[in-house]
Chain A
Amino acid sequence: MTLLKAEDRAPGVGAAASRRTGRGRRTRPLFNVRGLMFAAGLLLLLEALTTWVVKSAYVPRPSQVGAALYTGIVSGDLLADAGQTFATFGAGLLIAIVVAVPVGVLLGASATAFNSVKLIIEFLRPLPSVALIPFGILILGVGDTTTIALTVYAASWPILFNTYYGVRDADPVAVDTARNFGLGRAAVLRRVLLPSAAVNIAAGVRISGAIALVLTVTVEIITSSGGLGYAIVQMQTAIRNADMYAAVFAVGLLGYAINAAVAGLERKIVFWKTDARDGGAGR
């Protein structure tokens, strides 16, 4: 029954993750000043190291990478690659949500359904998604379809498990309350279990977002199917090291932006997250 790997389970759920009281305005600074200053210092240090200590053509200076990034952006090449990667990633994550949430709800609500598929899940779960890349190419060929399919596969698991646990661990008192007011199984599922699981689902999507990006870029690198992943390979083969690092940096930026966007959405959608359950209001 230990289906859930530690990394699948949302770290913040139930813990004192971002506390928000629906009414009070959160005061989150727009910029993390200290963090930015530290990053700038680190870049300067790297710049100094690559200028005076490690003088290698394979290790470009941050300023060179910055210049390459700038050129890539103004010429539109890097933006186009990033756009393709983002589109593939986005399609994969969306499909994963559409597939995994209903399945997770079903498994969480029905022990019979869960027991039926448990064995298959236990078998498929430990299979690393990248191991399926050759299989994907064989079946679907090289291209967006393969990339999206593998991204869906990898991104589905955290959403599936978090939804499953969210539904299964829904507060029995809340469920009884709904039953007491005459709600049937379907209504309880829709009006209590699903919103209860929203906290976990959102956390699952956040985790899956990171995984989906990794998968998308990996498949792009391996299959040379385009996007930032392909750009990295291309630049590496052409020994355009600064451009290669610029593409790598772009992946990092994309990942950061995606995570920030998902986390922001999460705070909006499941605003009650830490409100009621742990408050000192109960008995």
Chain B
Amino acid sequence: MATDFPRLTDLAEPGAVVPPILNVTELRKRYQADGPLVCDRLSFSVNQGDFVAIIGPSGCGKSTLLRMICGLLPPTSGEVSLRGQRIDAPPPEMALVFQDYTRSLFPWLTVERNVKFPLAERGDITKAEKAERVAEAIKTVGLAGFEDYHPGELSGGMQQRVAIARALAFRPQILLLDEPFASVDALTKEGLEDTLLAVRERFADSGMTMLLVTHDIDEAIYLADRILVLSKPPCHVAEELMVDLPHPKNQVSTRGMPEFQRIRARIHDVMGLSAQRDGSQPAA
């Protein structure tokens, strides 16, 4: 199955027998028929349980890519498939935490009801479980006590955490995060990063797969098992890096490891190089 994509064969884990959960194949996107290409022959695949970070310069098409992956935006050509099935409508297995969290929250609902929103009308979950999931998700992002607030009464970082909690309560098999920690302070951010790792650990048996878009190179290295570096627009995968840092991770010691520094230098190198090719300023 994965052999359809020659560019990926050398990247696939040796001896991997399980087919990837997600395949992105030769994805191209133009917003207008005569507009510029935003994504150009973007291909990669993701295995179940993977934590993949996607980094790339601002405006290179990362949000566009995530929206295509979760079936909200049709690609111009190419396809995204989930377990071999082509995606053309939002599949129930995925949840996306939007970069634009302010607009993604519903201002007329309280924090609790916002988090409950995706579960509210589902018949397959009991009322008690819904309440439990909601309470747990809110607690996980550190917003206990703010259940009855409305989004308009929260700070940007708090709103962002409500959006994360909502996705956690949904318990998707694949969680897509679009710069989810952009508006929180450094300390809260470290806390949330570890929360994400813990959530993944908890659902490891059900195999929660995570795709994280970020501007923050260190964050990508700290969290991900694999990093996709996107080129300047029109974007394609400029480099794919495996991260081999020991678990459990620690905010201080992990970031001090030589392997961490090596990957860091490599990414800087790649991002600088792809910028040089375009003859402009190096990014990041």
Contacts and interface: CB of A to CB of B under 8 A. Distances in A.
Given A173-B104, A181-B117, A276 B151 contact: yes
Contact of B151 (A178, A179, A275): A275
Interface string B158-191: 0100000000001000000000001100000000
B80 to A, nearest CB: 14
Interface residues of A, number: 29
B199 interface: no
Nearest to B154: A281
Contact of B103 (A173, A182, A187, A270): A173
A148 interface: no
B70 interface: yes
A25 to B, nearest CB: 13
Given A22-B150, A174-B103, A195-B108, A281 B72 contact: no
Interface in B43-97: 67, 70, 72, 90, 92, 94-96
B102 interface: yes
A279 B152 contact: yes
A237 interface: no
A222 to B, nearest CB: 42
A281 B70 CA distance: 26
Contact of B153 (A21, A171, A277): A21
Given A180-B72, A180-B90, A282-B156, A276 B121 contact: no
Given A182-B92, A182-B118, A275 B155 contact: no
Interface residues of B, number: 33
Contacts of B121: 187, 191
A250 interface: no
B149 interface: yes
Contacts of A180: 70, 72, 90, 94-96
Contact of B72 (A22, A23, A176, A198): A176
Contacts, number: 86
Given A181-B118, A195-B108, A276-B105, A176 B154 contact: no
Interface string A250-283: 0000000000000000000011100111011111
A154 interface: no
Contact of B106 (A174, A176, A279): A174
Nearest to B156: A281
Contacts of A171: 103
Interface in B94-147: 94-96, 98-100, 102-108, 117-118, 121
B160 to A, nearest CB: 9
Given A173-B103, A275-B107, A179 B72 contact: yes
A277 B153 CA distance: 11
B183 A283 contact: yes
Contacts of A280: 156
Contacts of A211: none
B211 to A, nearest CB: 14
Given A21-B153, A181-B118, A182-B118, A176 B98 contact: yes
Contact of B100 (A21, A270, A282): A282
A177 interface: yes
A225 B151 CA distance: 51
Which of B72, B94, B103: most chain A Cβ within 10 A?
Answer: B103
A277 B107 contact: yes
Contacts of B155: 281
Contacts of A187: 121
Contacts of A276: 102, 105, 107, 150-152
A272 B107 contact: yes
A62 to B, nearest CB: 46
A282 B151 CA distance: 11
A281 B159 contact: yes
A264 B70 CA distance: 42
Contacts of B159: 281
Nearest to B67: A176
Nearest to B182: A283
A171 B103 CA distance: 7
Contacts of A212: none
Nearest first, the 3 A-B pairs at minimum CB distance are A275-B152, A181-B118, A276-B107
Interface of A: 21-23, 171, 173-174, 176-182, 187, 191-192, 195, 198, 270-272, 275-277, 279-283
Interface of B: 67, 70, 72, 90, 92, 94-96, 98-100, 102-108, 117-118, 121, 149-156, 159, 170, 182-183
6 contacts: A21-B153, A22-B149, A272-B108, A275-B152, A279-B102, A283-B102
